Amino acid sequence: MNRRNLLCAAAAITVTSCSTAGNHSQTELPRVRVILVGDSTIATRTGYGDALCGMFRANVSCINLARGGRSSGSFRAEGLWDQMMARLAGPEKFASTYVLIQFGHNDQPGKPGRSTDLATEFPVNMARYVAEVKQAGAVPVLVTPLTRRTFRDGVLRNDLEPWADATRRVAQTSKTALLDLNADSAAAVSAMGSAEADTLAEEPPPAKPVSSPATTQDNAKAEPNGAPKSRFDYTHLGAKGATLFARMVTREIAQAVPALAAHVDSSKGTAR
């Protein structure tokens, strides 16, 4: 064999070896599971949850169990939490399971059958979720509620701040990882302003401007226990909004849950 053929053969062996090593490393990645629990701001079609699932590597099984209109109380009362816990007790084996939990929107007053008391019920509900996930051998991750994109005189009205504060306190007391989506999303939405923030909705605003919710009762009407009546509002998300906030969550994961951050596809999850 002449020198040229020897070099070609060596190059082919090197390429094959590298390819095999790459495939091997992919197959060696541990199976990891992520379960999303929350309301419509995470749920399929109306929230960022599916976009977030798409930002994990192929070895991650990401399951979006969030449901529109649910609060920290009604999610359990309707048996949805029991369904999540049944998955943790199921036969599938994973190296680790992370349960991301976000509530607040429907815990606010004015939502019959869903509202919870901010002082006595909401933090107790969140702490109980954390404790049960830990007891099941999984890793709970608390997420502060995504901001609404409601402006007053050019200033963002972050009326979910008290529920974000309560979530932060539960995380601190229970020594649980926290993703402060409320702070991040409020800062981003405030910076972009009302007109740009409207482009994050499921569809553009109608020709006649939709008045921003002025009371919690208005919020209740805008966020029914299920799919929203209008595809434009100041809460739910289209593809642009879902991608923006999902990436925001991955940046929080990088800071608060580094073991899970290792399973985020950096080409999708960390772009700004």
3-state secondary structure the chain: CCHHHHHHHHHHHHHHHHHHHHHHHHHHCCCEEEEEEECCCCCCCCCCHHHHHCCECCCEEEEECCCCCCCCCHHHHCCHHHHHHHHHCCCCCCCEEEEEEECCHHHCCCCCCCCCCCCCCHHHHHHHHHHHHHHCCCEEEEECCCCCCCEECCEECCCCHHHHHHHHHHHHHHCCEEECHHHHHHHHHHHHHHHHHHCCCCCCCCCCCCCCCCCHHHHHHHCCCCCCCCCCCCCCCCHHHHHHHHHHHHHHHHHHCHHHHCCECHHHHCCC
Sign of torsion over alpha carbons 160, 232, 188, 47: positive
For residue 120, what are its two tokens? Answer: 């006595």
Specify the pLDDT at position 206. Answer: 82
Range 52-65 average pLDDT: 98
Residue 171, pLDDT score: 98
Examine the pLDDT at 109 and tell me if it is beyond 50: yes
- pLDDT (average), residues 111-134: 97
**Quick check: 256 and 179 in contact, CB under 8 A?**
yes
Predicted pLDDT at 244: 98
Nearest Cα to 58, choosing from 266, 268, 265? 265
pLDDT of 7 strictly over 50: no
* Average pLDDT over every residue of 146-159: 96
Percent of the chain with pLDDT over 70: 81
Q: pLDDT digits over 17-33, tens only?
A: 333 333 434 457 899 99
User: Mean per-residue pLDDT for 201-205?
Assistant: 90
Mean pLDDT value across residues 159-186: 98
Residue 258 has pLDDT above 60, yes or no: yes
What pLDDT is attached to residue 268? 84
To the nearest 10°, the Cα dihedral for 224, 230, 232, 234?
A: -20
Residue 106 confidence (pLDDT) above 50 = yes
Mean pLDDT of 79-97: 97
Please give the Cα distance from 151 to 191 (Å, whole number). 12
Please determine, for residue 141, whether its predicted confidence score (pLDDT) is greater than 50. Answer: yes
pLDDT confidence of residue 91: 95
Cα dihedral angle (261, 97, 172, 109), rounded to 10 degrees?
110
Q: Is the pTM of this model over 0.85?
A: no
Query: What pLDDT, on the 0 to 100 scale, is given for residue 227?
Result: 53
pLDDT score of 14 more than 90: no
Which CATH number applies to 31-269? Answer: 3.40.50.1110
Please compute the mean of the pLDDT values over residues 1-18 and round it to a whole number: 43
The confidence score (pLDDT) of residue 212 equals 52
Strand 151-152, strand 155-156: pairing: antiparallel
**What are the residues whose beta carbons fall under 8 Å from the beta carbon of 166, sequence distance 6 or more?**
118, 122, 123, 126
pLDDT at 267: 87
Instruction: Record the tokens describing residue 49, joined without a space.
Output: 């949850």
CA–CA gap between residue 160 and residue 134 (Å, rounded): 26
Give the model's pLDDT for residue 4.
47
